[in-house]
Structure 1
Amino acid sequence: MNSFRHRHLSVLGLPALVLLITAAGCSSADDSLSTAVPSPDAKVTELCRKLDKVLPAEVDGERRADPSPASALTAGWGDPAIILRCGVAQPPKMVDPEVAEGRDADAVPGGVEGVDWLMEKQDGGAYRFTTANRDAYVEVTAPEGHDSSGVLIDLASAIKKAVPERKTL
């Protein structure tokens, strides 16, 4: 059973996400200004193009500076860069019962400003966040020195505006 589909995310919410980020600490992610561009289907690509048009000029106080190669499916802010990739594949942890039941310390579901996320601790201490319950998966990597909860808050409005919630039966 996919617990993301059933809205168990709201239990944790922003306070738990902030606590986990603060307690675990952060370290540098890849500092390069290059990132892999996802290759989703046409429907998701159109949603990602819409998202690109409404993304904020600043995230966590950093100005937008997109990575190369230039694409409407990727965006970046700051140095080291906060990287957004739209149209990524669903993370395997998103359907893992260990995560849904809170037994995986390296992957935690939560919600911030009306957007559901899967938070995954990466090697080296960086964090990757992937949207859940949306018609496109949006991945955000926040390196050391950035307030991850602030990053998610800054991006929430654009995501809600451009990427509809997935309709469930």
Structure 2
Amino acid sequence: MVAPLVTAVPLVLLLAACSGGPVSVATPDLDGSDRAACEALVADLPDTLADELPREIEPVDALGAAYGDPAIVVRCGVAVPANFNQASSSCEVANGVGWFVAPEEFIDQDADVTLTAAGYRPVVEVRVPGGYRPDGPAAAIAQLAAAIDEHLTLVENCN
């Protein structure tokens, strides 16, 4: 009876080591209605994202979430990307929500990609490691669309 326990302990330690521990999710300093909107969004995030399971985050009250290993990270309340221009930037649309992707990230299908719902306030971004491409980014933004549409304010369509 001792052998199964001895075998199980290293397996549990190996699995814990593979998870990489909590994912650090930087949270902008928000207050008032923006904070409330982000909190509502985070509470309504899906149980899985792009078929990846949730990860522990730190701080635990961050306005975001992480899924998978390497982590797909969702953050609410971020700034509009500096290279986004409503008049000339093109966006990917998933389930009615427009997402800005920097042109250089869009072209390089092996690169990590940051998708930003730049037309909503507060602004949400999703960082997807390159290993999930090509299908992961599209799956993630499609799954997030309903929560974004429900909890955030559309300021201007990004399409």
Q: TM-score, normalised by structure 1?
A: 0.68
Residue aligning to 1:144:
130
Counting only pairs closer than 5 Å after superposition, residues 11-50 of structure 1 correspond to structure 2 as 33-50=23-40
Counting only pairs closer than 5 Å after superposition, residues 18-167 of structure 1 correspond to structure 2 as 33-95=23-85, 100=88, 108-120=90-102, 121=105, 125-146=111-132, 147-166=136-155
- Give the distance between the partners of 1:130 and 1:167, measured in 2 at CA: 13
- Give the distance between the partners of 1:134 and 1:66, measured in 2 at CA: 26
Kindly state the Cα deviation for residue 69 of structure 1 after the two structures are TM-superposed: 1.4
Runs of 4 or more consecutive aligned structure 1 residues displaced over 4 Å after TM superposition = none
The share of aligned pairs that are identical, in percent, is 30
Q: TM-score, normalised by structure 2?
A: 0.72
Give the 3 Å change call, closer, same or farther, for CA 159–66 of structure 1 in structure 2.
farther
Name the structure, 1 or 2, with higher relative contact order (CA <8 Å, separation 6+).
1
Deviations 1:98-148, CA, capped at 9 Å, x for gaps: xx16xxxxxx42211111111122998110011022121001001133211
1:133–1:166 contact (8 Å) kept in structure 2 = yes
- Give the distance between the partners of 1:113 and 1:39, measured in 2 at CA: 29
SS at match of 2:100: strand
Q: Which runs of 5+ in 2 are unaligned?
A: 1-20
SS at match of 2:125: strand
Corresponding pairs, count:
130
Kindly state the Cα deviation for residue 42 of structure 1 after the two structures are TM-superposed: 2.1
1:127–1:142 contact (8 Å) kept in structure 2 = yes
Q: Which runs of 5+ in 1 are unaligned?
A: 1-30, 102-107
For the pair shown, which has the larger CA radius of gyration, 1 or 2?
2
SS at match of 1:62: coil
Deviations 1:76-107, CA, capped at 9 Å, x for gaps: 1111111011000111112276xx16xxxxxx
Residue aligning to 2:17:
none
Kindly state the Cα deviation for residue 167 of structure 1 after the two structures are TM-superposed: 6.6
